[in-house]
Amino acid sequence: MPLMKSWVTSANSPTTPFPLNNLPYGVFSQGEGEAHCGVAIGDMVLDVTRLEEAGLVVQGPDPVFDIPFWNDFMELGAEAWSAFRSRLTDLLAEGGSDELSGNAELTKAVLIPLTDVELHLPFAVSEFTDFYAGRHHATNVGTMFRGAENALPPNWLHIPIGYNGRASSVVVSGSDVRRPWGQLKPPTADKPHFAPCKRFDYELEMGAIVGQPSDGPVSVADADQMIFGYVLLNDWSARDIQAWEYQPLGPFQAKATATTISPWIVTRAALEPFRVDTPTREVELLDHLKDAGPMLYDIDLEVTLTPQGGDTATRLTRTNYREMYYSSAQQLTHHASSGCPMNVGDLLGSGTISGPEKANRGSLLELSWGGKEPVTLDTGETRSFLEDGDTLSMTGHAQGDGYRIGFGEALGKILPALER
Ligand code: MN
């Protein structure tokens, strides 16, 4: 599918993240104004809360955009998702309906430059689960801790391993992240102490947003249809806290400080042209988890680090979402396989997305190989783990024929630990 042209001319650039083909969903506010639901188009945001008030988009007898979250809209289901997307396309397309483009006063009121707005969490996070479903990442980490022979745990090729995280920890891009305190026990010490984390790290992930509920097990094909869209996700990780606390129930405080997501929900509909298969299976999956079609996406991902006060961003990671071993649909199927009810607004972290080469590693733990091989930044400084004042930025896009489906940015700056 080629670029779809819009009368919002900035949306026709081959490098804008937000062409008419994308239409990602977010929440924004302007000055002291209240937060509204919006759709990114070129370098503008379309205020759909006002568009609904004006009667130009109608979802039924009751408004769904009067609350600044996309949850009420997600609840309406696939037919409504598709009808709304068609309606937006018609209103914004070159040669489409002139109900908006022909009304200068309304256009001025509902099309706002992105540079003038503040972005918020696009949906109310119901619950958050994080997985460990990238094979390169699991192999790298496992090799460091258990040796190459035992890198993957025995269950790894059979189930997407995960843990239940905290919805309350999820923050939108731009939120500062404070270095956590925690119990640390270096291997050489005979007892633990309580101190600021010394091995604070990022994890490059994608987040899948559940848009329809389940009550009982779901097939992989049905799980795919339950997913509303995707965001970039940074699963900030305190490696030293994790090393001491994780056995036998997995990460707890190590992952509870913050989880940063990008502000725009890129819909499954926008990503359709970019579907790719999961990698070849070394071990055949059990029937309930078997692939039911291509359910990963070809999305280029990048991470940069900018030290305090600097303007030089060093690229740390360049990888692709297609490197995952399990799709989000398979993760959702596994999640629901016990009968665990899944809710609208549930967020599923993919697991760190590393690729086969060193340049593809999606965390500093892997890049510095546990701190043994510090990374040299373009400024000449080195990093084994994140330092106070560092700003981490994740970006991503799918490359179409003359257009991009962009995600925006998941950015966070590290603040020093609290004084105690
Ligand atoms: Mn993670």
Ligand 1 centroid to residue 204 C-alpha, Å? 8
- The owner of tokens 């007898």 is 61
The helix (H) or strand (E) run that includes residue 200 is strand 200-201
Distance CA 374, CA 199 (A): 12
397 catalytically annotated: no
Distances (CA, A) of 165 to 205, 398, 399: 14, 28, 32
Model pLDDT for residues 259-294, shown as the tens digit of each residue: 999 999 999 999 999 999 999 998 999 999 999 999
Distance CA 359, CA 354 (A): 9
Q: What is the pLDDT confidence band of residue 157, given thresholds at 50, 70 and 90?
A: very high
Ligand 1 centroid to residue 237 C-alpha, Å? 8
pLDDT at 1 over 90: no
Before 248, cis peptide (omega within 30)?
yes
Contacts 24+ apart (CB under 8 A), 221-224: 221/292, 221/293, 221/329, 223/328, 223/329, 223/330, 223/332, 223/333, 223/336, 224/268, 224/292, 224/293, 224/295, 224/327, 224/329
Ligand 1 centroid to residue 132 C-alpha, Å? 6
pLDDT at 38 over 90: yes
pLDDT score of 145? 85
pLDDT at 107 over 90: yes
Choice among 137, 334, 335, 397 that is catalytic: 137
Ligand 1 centroid to residue 410 C-alpha, Å? 15
- The chain-wide mean pLDDT, for the chain, equals 97
Report strand pairing: 25-29 vs 118-120.
Answer: antiparallel
